[in-house]
Structure 1
Amino acid sequence: MPGPTPVPVHGDQKLPARVDVVIVGGGIIGCSTALELAEAGHSVAICEKGGIGHEQSSRNWGWVRISRRDPREVPLMAEAIRLWRNLDARTGRSTGYRSAGIMFVCDDEDRFEKYRRWQRHLEPFQITSRMLGARELHGMTPEADRIEGVGALYTPEDGRAEPQKAAPAIAEAARDKGAAILTGCAVRVVETEAGRVSGVVTERGRIACDAVVVAGGAWSNLFLGNMGVDLPSLGVVSHVIRTEPAEGGPDHAIWTDDFAIRKREDGGYTVSRGAGTTVDIVPNSIRYGLKYLAALRMQHRELHFRLGKRFLHEAMRAKSWRADEETPFERDRVFDPAPSPRMVGRLMDHVGNAFPALRNVPVAQRWAGCIDVTPDAIPVISAVESTPGLHIASGFSGHGFGIGPAAGGLMADIVLNRTPRVDAREFRFSRFTDGSRIAPDEGF
């Protein structure tokens, strides 16, 4: 089955000779950055090797959550929730956003207590969250026949949106403000003059600019490596099912170890594993292995390692190229990993056991998406000090969709040297080289 189909965004035919900022990557992060810059009166071009939102930005679960966020992301996610509430009006288009609440089910008292402690991170932001006991959990999920758990973390202000709509809506809004949208237009190299960014060379020609934002998701490591910039990141693969429309399922999004489910705008459900992603072993797995030891110790039960064709493909892929050479981004326009039969095979059994009304609902689609994960599982939203004018907004570790509008805003703040909307220190690129402790937060 093919992957999800985003709302089409037709690329501009004309390549601008010059803009203030070039965005490399047309996912929700790049598009949100472009919209913020264009609204501030700056000229911007989004250069996307494939189509707008065709990779992880349209393949994710569609959750807009602050619950269970790494505490370092909570201030930025609070800003994102504020932006999502007005995003349809701001863009003049539907993103499918709805504040419908999310429940994270606790299978034991230790997890219940961990989530209870996590709630303190919400106190400065006037966002309510509460712990549900087992009786209240079951009372709030009357559709469920069986959800195993001692309780749940419930945040009513968490929500959902439609991934196939959101990035295209934001991109079109940026175009309304003057941004150029260039699809099928891979950036080959970033040019510098006297050490500063001076332009990019795309497969369609050169664009002069003063700043570049690399928002290429799982491709950012390869792109930056050609510049001698090392962004440590590895890809993990999430597997997703979309059902046909069905009555009698839950309206709240619900997470358990066995499944994560949320209702879609079309009346169907998006379903994935709550705990469990696939890690394709590739050459970078060896290169960055030591950097990920802390993450592996904490999350090893949720990772399923797979050695296959991807290792050879990436081993043989070019690691460097010139402006006049075809790049890997032109050979692989869209990374479309195969969903694992093992990972999706029992998903609907778990869902049907919990929700009898969904027991026989037909599966409309199965797909997978590649998530770029940093060693500490939080993103880089930062200038690159060694190359003035170069910026990175990547490594969102599966959290990029919900946080996207605020992450784009913070990236724009940094590019424009204006007061950042939240403290950006935790997201600095230099943390990987300045001796900082690099690890996921142990309490989330």
Structure 2
Amino acid sequence: MSFPIHENSPLRHRGRLPAVCDTVVIGGGIIGVMTAWALAKKGQRVVLCEKGLIAGEQSSRNWGWIRQQGRDPAELPIMMESLALWRELAAGTGGRLGFRQTGVLYLANKEGDMAGFRSWLDSVAGSGVDSRMLSAREVADLVPSAKAGWTGGLWTASDARAEPWVAVPVLADLAAEAGVVIVEHCAVRCLDLSAGRVAGVVTEAGRIACDQVVVAAGAWSRLFLGAHGVRIPQLSVRATVAATEPLPDLFPGAAVDSHFAFRRREDGGYTLAPGDHQNFWIGPDAFREFGTYWPLLKRTFGQTSLQPMAPKGYPDAWSTPRWLKGDVESPFERMRILNPAPDRRALERLRTRFAEAFPQIGKPRLTASWAGMIETMPDVVPVIDRTEKLPGLVIATGLCGHGFGIGPGMGRVIASMVLGEEIGHDMRRFRLSRFTDGSKLVPGPSL
């Protein structure tokens, strides 16, 4: 399978829509897939509708990190559960996920970076995570071929990696085997409401009656929910990624400093990404949320390149309609896969920084490059919650670029929320009402 998944990748799931089910999951990224899988394992009749292809957007375009390190303290317990599930899933699929516990390493370019690492480590004291600070000498021992002169680091040996464009389709196959009806190229145009609550969904292929709907639509969640009167302050940024040709084994795990990130892949190459740059296209939603995002913007302004308008068809493009009707073609059908072009200048800087860190390798040849739209929230914390406005609706979005690793655990959490079961984690940090109840927004870690 080529990476990432794109418009010309083959359809894998052509399930027939039933007239009735228990739950419809909207979105075939890892959160939607694992939620559907967890619900099916509990005996639910589940339909997963994906407007494009399973993992066609950010779930096949991410760095492939499975990390506890740097998580918001409220996310960490779910992430630890997720890591255990990754191990079980990897064992049950014969290694096809590319799952390897090779560790995650944060590298300090200056002493201020070390202070940030210490602060995070203090915030999760007592959690049981095996993260620890490293000296410059210990970093050099872990990455002996590097010449970057890092001053220290933060290391979690139990953290892992996997191949996202391979892993998520394999997990979708598991969900299908568990009984989930998965239909690709099947956009949900709108909710079907009765007496003020969810009664089903209207897809481009027809209506499905159900009592529960999970919106896990990634960068499209705000557009879908807003058309039903549910506001979430979610925006999206473009992140660029590249794959190198096979290289010597510089480091078996995943690492990042202030400038770039790298991860060993199963094919012997490395996945590279800028660690200090992202692109943000301004649209009507961005204007509306300027005040909400100001605290985060102050912290990340130097790392964000602003563009005057989103391309045509994007969720926050000026011309994208904000209304949805069941008998009219939706924006989701017009753009099956959100596939932004990578930032070419960022790629060249990336090659230069890699060569500076590993001069014996030089500028690596890139065999592929791509970009993805990462949905984010003003506090860099997802929304996992029901909404009082529409009973029967569960929102699972805003995973802020770190949803791949937490996917299995979060899927189990969302399934328990759908079923009204005890979740086992404190979910107050993820409530939707934090944006409207007067609470002070506290941004999560920027690690």
Asked if 1 retains the 8 angstrom alpha-carbon contact of 2:225 and 2:231, the reply is yes
Native 8 Å contact 1:9 1:172 kept in 2: no
SS at match of 1:391: strand
Q: Given that residues 70 and 445 in structure 2 are in contact (C-alpha distance below 8 angstroms), is that contact kept between their aligned partners in structure 1?
A: no
Structure having the higher helix fraction is 1
1:73-101 deviations in Å (ceiling 9; x for gaps)? 21221111111111223456721111101
User: Bigger CA drift: 183-192 or 310-319?
Assistant: 310-319
| Alignment partner, residue 219 of structure 1 | 220
Deviation per residue, 1:282-325 (Å, 9 max, x gap): 22111111100110112222212122452796111111021100
Distance in 1 of aligned mates of 2:293 and 2:45? 38
Q: State the TM-score, normalized to the length of structure 2.
A: 0.95
The residue that corresponds to 1:74 in the other structure is 76
Provide, for residues 372-393 of structure 1, a one-character-per-residue CA deviation record: whole Å limited to 9, x for no partner.
Answer: 0111111011111111100110
Contact 1:76 1:422 in 2 (8 A): yes
Structure 1 consecutive aligned stretches of length 4 or more whose deviation exceeds 6 Å = none
Task: Tell me the CA shift for residue 412 of structure 1.
Answer: 0.6
Partner residue, 1:4: 4
Indicate the residue corresponding to 1:281 in structure 2. Answer: 282
Query: How big is each residue's C-alpha offset from its partner over 1:129-156, in whole Å with a ceiling of 9 and x where there is no partner?
Result: 1111111111211121x12321000110
State the match for 1:21 in structure 2. Answer: 23
Report the Cα distance in structure 2 between the residues aligned to 1:227 and 1:411, rounded to whole angstroms.
21
Q: Is 245-254 or 184-193 further displaced after alignment?
A: 245-254
Identify if the C-alpha distance between structure 1 residues 190 and 309 changes in structure 2 by more than 3 Å, giving closer, same or farther: closer
Aligned to 1:157: 158
- Other-structure match for 2:402: 399
Q: Note if 1:435 corresponds to 2:445.
A: no
Report how far residue 3 of structure 1 moved.
5.9
- CA shift at 1:108, angstroms? 1.9
Deviation of 1:250 (Å): 1.9
Partner in structure 1 of residue 197 of structure 2: 196
CA distance in 2, matches of 1:329, 1:65: 31
State the AA in 2 paired with 1:393.
A
**1:280: how far off?**
1.4
Which residue of 321, 325, 339 maps to 1:336?
A: 339
Q: Give the Å deviation of 1:14.
A: 1.4
Q: Which range moves more in the overlay, 364-373 or 67-76?
A: 67-76
Which secondary structure state, in structure 2, belongs to the residue aligned with residue 372 of structure 1? strand
- Aligned sequence identity (%): 43
Kindly report which structure 2 residues correspond to 1:38-437, keeping only aligned pairs within 5 A, or say none: 38-90=40-92, 94-144=96-146, 146-308=147-309, 310=311, 314-437=317-440
Counterpart residue identity of residue 319, structure 2: M
CA separation in 2, counterparts of 1:9 and 1:310?
26
Cα–Cα, structure 1 residues 228 and 93, in superposed 2: closer, same or farther, change >3 Å?
farther
CA separation of 1:267/1:312 partners in 2, compared to 1, >3 Å: closer, same or farther?
A: closer
Task: State the distance in 1 between where 2:26 and 2:85 align.
Answer: 23
Q: Unpaired segments of 5 or more residues in structure 1?
A: none
Distance in 1, matches of 2:3 and 2:252, equals: 24
Letter of the 2:318 partner, please give it: A
When residues 55 and 156 of structure 1 are mapped into structure 2, their CA distance, relative to the original with a 3 A threshold, is: same
Residue identity matched to 1:22: V
Task: Report the CA distance between 1:110 and its aligned residue.
Answer: 2.4
On the 8 A contact 1:4/1:367 being kept in 2, the answer is yes
Q: 2: CA distance between counterparts of 1:408 and 1:236?
A: 24
Aligned partners of 2:93 and 2:397: how far apart in 1?
23
Q: How high is the TM-score relative to the length of structure 1? A: 0.95
Q: Name the SS for the 1:125 alignment partner.
A: coil
Q: What is the aligned-residue RMSD (CA, Å)?
A: 1.8
Q: State whether residues 18 and 207 of structure 1, in contact with CA within 8 Å, keep that contact through their aligned partners in structure 2.
A: yes
Residue type matched to 1:35 in 2? W
Q: 2 CA distance for matches of 1:397 and 1:13?
A: 30
Q: What amino acid is the match of 1:68?
A: G
Q: Aligned equivalents of 1:219 and 1:416: distance in 2?
A: 24
C-alpha distance in structure 1 between counterparts of 2:119 and 2:234, whole Å: 29
* Number of aligned positions between the proteins: 442
Give me the whole-angstrom Cα distance separating, in 2, the residues matched to 1:358 and 1:205: 55
**1:197 aligned counterpart, secondary structure:** strand
The 2-side partners of 1:268 and 1:363 are apart by 9
Query: Residues 420 and 8 of structure 1: is their aligned pair in 2 closer, same or farther, counting only changes over 3 Å?
Result: farther
Between 176-185 and 347-356, report the one with greater CA deviation: 347-356
Contact 2:15/2:181 (<8 A) preserved: no
Deviations 1:308-359 (A, max 9, x none): 4527961111110211000000000001111112211111111122123532
Distance in 2 between residues matched to 1:334 and 1:181, nearest whole Å = 17
Cα distance in 2 for partners of 1:63, 1:357 equals 26
Match of 1:32 among 27, 31, 34: 34
CA distance in 2: counterparts of 1:114 and 1:401, whole angstroms? 24
Confirm or deny: 8 A CA contact 1:283 1:311 kept in the other structure: no
In structure 1, C-alpha distance between the alignment counterparts of 2:405 and 2:180, rounded to whole Å: 23
